[in-house]
């Protein structure tokens, strides 16, 4: 059921077992599974529930504005609120609406590669392994209604009657695209019912203002609703108390909320990362360096045309440096495609890229705005120059040609591209991360974080399948902590 925050009386107190803040894929997944397992869940969302996400932009501009520095200054000055003029076709970075950024994301999915979890020079590694996440990826694939959880090139070559290309030092990595009916977590169904039908209490127009905590325990959330004037003003203010709380506001706002409430340690806000994306024609790959059957694997085609399954899933391949090459040359991952394309790569975690609080305040609630700084550094230049040279040599040996611009030229084109990573990273060591391996905020007993803000490093795969997998894992952990009512598995959704 969806309520509006204005319907909660001023000064009211709502008591629940689990309170989740933010209704994107991270929040809805955890809320849905915990509700299905029998826990009392309240999911709050600062945005409203309009017919179309762009209707929320006026409010978003007021509440997400702040200061964007570093590479943002030249490349994407309006990162926090709107696409940079001229790049509107490429990215609206973040939304403030029921469903979060899933209201217009691309639905492109792939688990992270095992190497993403490894610590190596320049990359901290994760406190959990790829193997730890395998069962949760299987659940996430079901929740995303994918064509199974096998992303291997061999498997897809079989499905498409295609061939796996052989390019020295590069793997063919397959990406499944979710069917359009399932990408928007606000409107889609989960085994026949929407999240709003499944979750007993979703409160939209309910903005978290403060995490009230003392002695290492969160005691309540101070939440406000807005009236319908423009610019809006606070309508009501109420409190939610719960046994456990989950922040699922996206990587920028997760960090800001912790900073606003002086919750968490000095790691909060650090290591903002993304998958920087160049302009669409930065790279040019030409020549018949793979067979027609291998090209079909890259394009997701059978001998008779584009492959799709009954749920609208499609598939495509990309070339990425193998794990051995990444280790040998000390580079992050990236991908290449035939023809003209963008360059897209794994950033090296960089302490200069971080979120802090600005000295300006938002015009609605009067709270400090976000200051975000984004820098790409010598390690990223090394990934670019090494991966492009290796790819040029590899396809050159097969008769292909590859053009790529200088690093400085490429750097001038980069945008963040919707994948916001780091800022509350996971580490067993509180000196190196903001949350532990269970996603619990270091130093606070009952506050957890969901979403890609907890990724210590981003790998090359799009983040949301991993976000969903981590939310399934978090729901299981919270179920154990609260005393499990029923098993937490997506099979429950199938039984619903």
Ligand X SMILES: Cc1cc2nc3c(=O)[nH]c(=O)nc-3n(C[C@H](O)[C@H](O)[C@H](O)COP(=O)(O)OP(=O)(O)OC[C@H]3O[C@@H](n4cnc5c(N)ncnc54)[C@H](O)[C@@H]3O)c2cc1C
Interacting residues with ligand X (CB under 6 A): 21-27, 44-47, 91-97, 100-102, 104-109, 207-208, 248-250, 253, 257, 418-419, 451-452, 462-464, 467
- Other C-beta atoms lying within 10 Å of the C-beta of residue 129: 12
Residues 342, 278 contacting (CB under 8 angstroms): yes
Q: Name the minimum Å distance from CB 207 to ligand X.
A: 4
Residues 458, 421 contacting (CB under 8 angstroms): yes
Beta strands, E only, 76-216: 108-109, 170-177, 189-190, 193-194, 201-204, 207-214
Q: Name the minimum Å distance from CB 393 to ligand X.
A: 30
Q: Name the minimum Å distance from CB 226 to ligand X.
A: 11
Report residue 320: phi and psi, to 5°: -130, 150
Across 392-425, b (16+ Cβ under 10 Å) vs e yields: bebbeeeebebebbebeebbebbbbbbbbbbbbb
Q: Name the minimum Å distance from CB 465 to ligand X.
A: 6
Q: Name the minimum Å distance from CB 305 to ligand X.
A: 23
Beta strands, E only, 114-227: 170-177, 189-190, 193-194, 201-204, 207-214, 217-226
Residue 374 exposure: Cα atoms within 13 Å on the Cβ side: 28
Our CB check for ligand X shows the closer of 185 and 404 to be 185
What is the spatial distance between Cα 185 and Cα 253, in angstroms, rounded to a whole number?
A: 19
Our CB check for ligand X shows the closer of 207 and 387 to be 207
Across 162-176, b (16+ Cβ under 10 Å) vs e yields: bbbbebebbbbbbbb
Q: Name the minimum Å distance from CB 163 to ligand X.
A: 26
Nearest CA-CA partner of 220 in 450, 483, 32, 447 = 447
What is the spatial distance between Cα 68 and Cα 235, in angstroms, rounded to a whole number?
A: 30
Q: Name the minimum Å distance from CB 398 to ligand X.
A: 29
Our CB check for ligand X shows the closer of 245 and 404 to be 245
Our CB check for ligand X shows the closer of 342 and 452 to be 452
93 Cβ contact list (under 8 Å, min separation 6): 76, 79, 80, 83, 416, 418, 420
Nearest CA-CA partner of 98 in 207, 174, 233, 259 = 207
What is the spatial distance between Cα 421 and Cα 251, in angstroms, rounded to a whole number?
A: 6
Our CB check for ligand X shows the closer of 264 and 400 to be 264
Our CB check for ligand X shows the closer of 167 and 358 to be 358
Q: Name the minimum Å distance from CB 419 to ligand X.
A: 5
Q: Name the minimum Å distance from CB 290 to ligand X.
A: 24
Two structure tokens written together for 151: 């992303």
What is the spatial distance between Cα 173 and Cα 336, in angstroms, rounded to a whole number?
A: 10
Two structure tokens written together for 404: 């790529």
Q: Name the minimum Å distance from CB 166 to ligand X.
A: 28
Our CB check for ligand X shows the closer of 405 and 476 to be 476
421 Cβ contact list (under 8 Å, min separation 6): 251, 272, 273, 274, 275, 347, 452, 453, 455, 457, 458, 463
Our CB check for ligand X shows the closer of 46 and 66 to be 46
């Amino acid at each position: 059921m969806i309520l509006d925050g204005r319907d909660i009386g001023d000064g009211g107190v709502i008591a629940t077992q689990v309170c989740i803040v933010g209704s994107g894929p991270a929040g809805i997944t955890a809320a849905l599974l915990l509700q299905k397992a029998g826990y009392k869940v309240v999911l709050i969302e600062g945005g409203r529930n309009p017919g179309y996400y762009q209707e929320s932009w006026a409010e978003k501009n007021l509440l997400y504005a702040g200061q964007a520095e570093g590479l943002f200054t030249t490349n994407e000055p309006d990162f926090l609120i709107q696409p940079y003029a001229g790049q509107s076709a490429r990215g609206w970075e973040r939304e403030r609406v029921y469903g979060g950024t899933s209201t217009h994301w691309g639905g492109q999915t792939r688990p992270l590669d095992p190497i993403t979890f490894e610590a190596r020079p320049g990359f901290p590694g994760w406190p959990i392994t790829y193997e730890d996440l395998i069962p949760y990826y299987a659940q996430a694939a079901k929740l995303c209604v994918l064509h199974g959880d096998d992303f291997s090139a061999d498997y897809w070559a079989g499905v498409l009657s295609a061939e796996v290309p052989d390019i020295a030092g590069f793997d063919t990595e397959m990406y499944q695209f979710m069917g359009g009916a399932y990408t928007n977590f606000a409107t889609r169904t989960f085994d026949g019912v929407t999240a709003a039908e499944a979750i007993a209490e979703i409160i939209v127009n309910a903005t978290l203002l403060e995490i009230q905590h003392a002695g290492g325990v969160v005691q309540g959330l101070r939440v406000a609703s807005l009236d319908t004037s423009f610019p809006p003003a606070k309508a009501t203010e109420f409190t939610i108390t719960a046994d456990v709380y989950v922040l699922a506001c996206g990587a920028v706002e997760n960090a800001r909320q912790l900073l606003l409430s002086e919750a968490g340690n000095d790691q909060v806000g650090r290591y903002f990362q993304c998958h920087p994306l160049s302009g669409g024609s930065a790279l040019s790959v030409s020549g018949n360096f793979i067979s027609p059957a291998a090209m079909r694997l890259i394009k997701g085609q059978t001998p008779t045309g584009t492959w799709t399954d009954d749920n609208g899933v499609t598939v495509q391949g990309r070339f990425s440096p193998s794990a051995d090459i990444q280790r040998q040359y000390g580079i992050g991952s990236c991908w290449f495609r035939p023809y003209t394309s963008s360059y897209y790569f794994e950033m090296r975690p960089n302490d200069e890229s971080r979120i802090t609080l600005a000295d300006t305040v938002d015009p609605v609630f009067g709270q400090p705005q976000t200051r975000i700084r984004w820098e790409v550094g010598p390690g990223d230049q090394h990934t670019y120059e090494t991966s492009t040279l290796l790819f040029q040599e590899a396809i050159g040996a097969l008769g292909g040609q590859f053009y790529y611009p200088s690093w400085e030229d490429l750097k001038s084109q980069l945008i963040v591209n919707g994948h916001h990573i780091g800022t509350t990273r996971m580490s067993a060591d509180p000196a190196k991360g903001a949350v532990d391996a269970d996603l619990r905020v270091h130093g606070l007993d009952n506050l957890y974080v969901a979403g890609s803000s907890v990724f210590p490093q981003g790998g090359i795969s799009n983040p949301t399948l991993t976000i969903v997998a981590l939310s399934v894992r978090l729901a299981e952990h919270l179920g154990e902590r609260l005393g499990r009512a029923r098993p937490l598995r997506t099979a429950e959704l199938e039984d619903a």
